[in-house]
Amino acid sequence: MDSQGVSEASSFESMVFQEGSETSNFDNTVDYEEDPEAEGHCFSADVESEYFHHYGPGLFHPVYIGDIYKDGRYKIEQKLGWGSSSTVWGARDLHDDKFVAIKVIESKASENDKELRILQHLRDSDLEHPGRKHIIKLLDHFYHDGVNGRHLCIVTEAAGQTLYQYVDAKDRGLPGRLDGSECRLFSRQLLLAVDFMHKCNILHGELHNSNIMFLLPDYCYYDEPCISQVTRKDGEPIGEHMPKHVVGKPRISTDHDKKKNMTFEMTVKVVDFSMSFFADELPTHVATNRSMRPPEMIIERPVSKAMDIWQLACVTYWAATRSDLFDVTYDTRTLIPQIHKVIGESSADWLLSAMIEGTKNELWKDVPPPYDFNVQQHILEKTLRLRVYHPDKNRDFWWKMTECDMKMDAEDGELSERVEKIYSERLKQQKEAAALYKPLEGRPEVARYIVMLGRYLRRMLVVDPDQRPSAEELLTEAFVQDLRLDDYVLSNLRA
């Protein structure tokens, strides 16, 4: 950003945030993150799992490997994950000999079947649309009575890794992220999924990197479950409402012999509709990831399908860079200057108007002043160049860090033969990656990719939700097009 841009940004912030003024006082949405010390902290296990205070009357149901559900149909084989109101398990459908996913919802949340109704609506839609195959498919549902109450169990096709897990597992010798061709294919499939949902009158509401998954290729498989006994720290019995043991995060392995003869085809699946809603049944309160909240949510304006488009921009940026576009840990007020700096002056009028409206309606008069203004200092295109393409001064950073870690472990006597081999392989990959460095001017394909990505993101990052483009309109963007376009996309281009 040039000096004039910095000056304008500072001026904008001084108008919006004056310490102690009403315009600076707001954080109106409760975060959905859990407090591990709330309850259940007297229990422990040796694997990472859901918080123990999620168990009790009205809460989670204790599930065990080998359990049989729905009159002998489903046998639990693996744990796939967990959230704030459910655990998700891999099970064998003994009728069809298929591996499926079963989401076991906590008892009190099972009284609301909205998620089930949304999945049924999406499954039963007669709309011919290529985005349908990128929505997790509902297969079955049933209710189960357990020690903590009655639980709704939703059976879907099983996906594999979340976007976060997929990127985290990539080993390139540099921070993991989707490369150019992967990111474009990922973005097109995700956009088609959003377009299908919106045409079915559904808003997802939580399009973040843990709710977007990839189907597991046939050459990958789950390792044996990691099981740990649950104990009380005071030695007392754990009680009937707690699980006797818990299962840790699933681990995925690769059959490399099988992989040699197979080609991986990326298939994106949007999952977890627990925070979703019908467009004609808008809720009075929406809880979502703070860093991905669109501007209209910050000032308590009604949400719409445009909310998903803003989140789509945030998750696409993360997939391309493995960093958050906006950084908010507690106080959502810090989003305002961040949005202004990332998008630029085109956002200022709407943001100021919205702030005036919020002040007039006294939305934030009882909330303390913000505690932090640690905001990004670069506009969107500049951050993309820095994140997608590593500048010359950073090209040797990663192998030097690995070399340093290797030396420190050796000095501490912690460098076993196995660990040394891992370090050596990583060091080799990182040095090879650094040796391939070329100035951006010598990489026209990367420069074109960054330009296309920047244009695609900027079209979505419009502060006024009424002016934000629809998913269908975004399908015409060059970033999500290629030679294998679906007929559906081609028909929109011809129209």
Segment 122-132 shows an average pLDDT of 93
Burial of 216 (0-12, 13-18, 19+ CB in 10 A): middle
- Asked whether residue 103 is marked as a ligand-binding residue, the answer is yes
Is 38 a domain residue?
A: no
Is 90 a domain residue?
A: no
Is 157 a domain residue?
A: no
Helices 306-321, 380-388: axis angle to 10 degrees equals: 40
Report pLDDT digits (tens) over 303-351: 899 999 999 999 999 999 888 999 887 777 778 888 888 888 888 888 8
Segment 206-227 shows an average pLDDT of 91
Burial of 430 (0-12, 13-18, 19+ CB in 10 A): buried
With pLDDT > 90 as the criterion, what percentage of the chain qualifies?
Answer: 45
Q: For residue 250, give the DSSP letter.
A: -
Is 450 a domain residue?
A: yes
Which residues span the domain enclosing 388? 1-31+287-395+437-495
Segment 211-232 shows an average pLDDT of 91
- pLDDT at residue 195 in the model: 97
Is 352 a domain residue?
A: yes
3-state DSSP assignment of residue 161: strand
Of the pLDDT bands very low, low, confident and very high (cuts 50, 70, 90), residue 367 is low
Please state, in angstroms and as integers, the Cα–Cα distance from residue 417 to each residue in 48, 173, 405, 410, 430, following that order. Answer: 27, 20, 15, 11, 20
Is 376 a domain residue?
A: yes
Burial of 113 (0-12, 13-18, 19+ CB in 10 A): middle
Is 299 a domain residue?
A: yes
Report pLDDT digits (tens) over 269-283: 999 999 999 998 887
User: Given a cut of 80, is residue 485 above it in pLDDT?
Assistant: no
pTM here?
0.79
Q: Higher pLDDT residue, 490 or 164?
A: 164
- pLDDT at residue 493 in the model: 42
Segment 202-211 shows an average pLDDT of 94
**What count of residues does the chain have?**
495
CATH number of 487's domain: 1.10.510
- pLDDT at residue 395 in the model: 66
Nearest by Cα to 193 from 178, 203, 183, 184: 203
Most confident range (mean pLDDT) of 165-174, 202-211, 343-352, 412-421 is 202-211
- pLDDT at residue 363 in the model: 67
- pLDDT at residue 304 in the model: 93
Report pLDDT digits (tens) over 233-290: 888 899 999 999 999 988 888 888 888 777 778 899 999 999 999 998 887 778 888 8
Domains identified in the chain, total number? 1
Averaged pLDDT score across all residues of the chain:
81
Report pLDDT digits (tens) over 32-66: 334 444 455 688 899 999 999 999 999 999 999 99
Q: Which segments within 57-106 are labelled E, that is strand? A: 68-69, 74-82, 86-93, 98-105
3-state DSSP assignment of residue 156: strand
Helices 180-199, 306-321: axis angle to 10 degrees equals: 160
